Amino acid sequence: MKTLALSLTLASSLVLVACGTTTGSRTGSGAAVGAATGAAIGSLSGNAGKGALIGAGAGALGGYVYDKNKKQEEYDREYRNRDYDNRYPRY
C-alpha cells in the first residue's frame, strides 16, 4: 500500500511541478509540490517534517531553474524570429 501511495504522489508531483507563468508562481508551486512529495517520502522513514523541508527547498529550486529556462527559450525564439529591416532575407 505504501508503494502505491508513493507512486501516486510522485506521479502527481511530476504533472503539477512548476505550474504558472511568473517566477514567483513557478517557484511557489515547485515548493508546494516538493513539500508534499518530501512529506510523503519522509513519512515512510518516520520523519515527514524533515522530508517536507527538504522537498520544499528542492522544489523551489527546481521551479526557479525551470522558470529561467523557459524565459531563456522564449527570448531565444523571439530573437531568432526578428527580421532586421529586411536586410537579411529569411529562407
| Torsion over CA: 33, 37, 40, 46 (sign) | negative
Across 14-18, 22-26, 66-70, which has the greatest mean pLDDT? 66-70
Decide if pLDDT at 1 tops 80.
Answer: no
Model confidence over 38-54: pLDDT tens digits? Answer: 888 888 888 888 989 99
pLDDT digits (tens, 9 = 90+) for 70-79: 999 988 888 7
The pLDDT of residue 19 is above 60: yes
Which pTM does this prediction carry? 0.68
Helix (H, G, I), strand (E, B) or coil at 35: helix
* Planar angle of CA 6, 36, 60, nearest 5 degrees: 125
pLDDT the model gives residue 71? 92
